[in-house]
């Protein structure tokens, strides 16, 4: 399996994992709305999920390659995750 295939597989697993946390995040925001003062909980969770996906994928890529991803590699990771946006939004807004 080449690095792109590994990366694609890791991103798929990462997104599937973070998507499962959506209900918990929405519940936590509701329970802490006075402290968090979030105007749109679903958009907040969308940003949180995207950040988690990008961060985890970049960290995993660093682990696989044993070096900090180049700008080109970061763009590749970003593009792979951006392809998952419809799935993420579907899970948040269902």
The tens-digit pLDDT sequence of the chain (94 residues) is: 787 788 888 888 888 888 999 999 999 999 998 999 999 999 999 999 999 888 888 888 888 888 998 898 889 889 999 999 999 999 999 8
What one-character DSSP code corresponds to residue 40?
-
pTM: 0.83
pLDDT at 35: 95
> Any idea where the domains of the chain sit in the sequence?
3-93
Contacts for 79 with CB less than 8 Å, ≥ 6 apart: none
């Amino acid at each position: 399996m080449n690095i792109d295939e590994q990366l694609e597989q890791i991103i798929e697993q990462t997104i599937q994992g973070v998507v499962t946390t959506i209900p918990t995040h929405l519940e936590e925001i509701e329970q802490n709305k006075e402290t968090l003062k979030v105007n749109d909980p679903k958009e907040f969770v969308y940003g949180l999920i995207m950040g988690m996906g990008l961060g985890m994928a970049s960290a995993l890529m660093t682990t696989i390659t044993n070096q900090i991803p180049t700008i080109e590699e970061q763009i590749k990771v970003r593009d792979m995750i951006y392809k998952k946006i419809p799935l993420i939004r579907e899970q948040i807004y269902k």
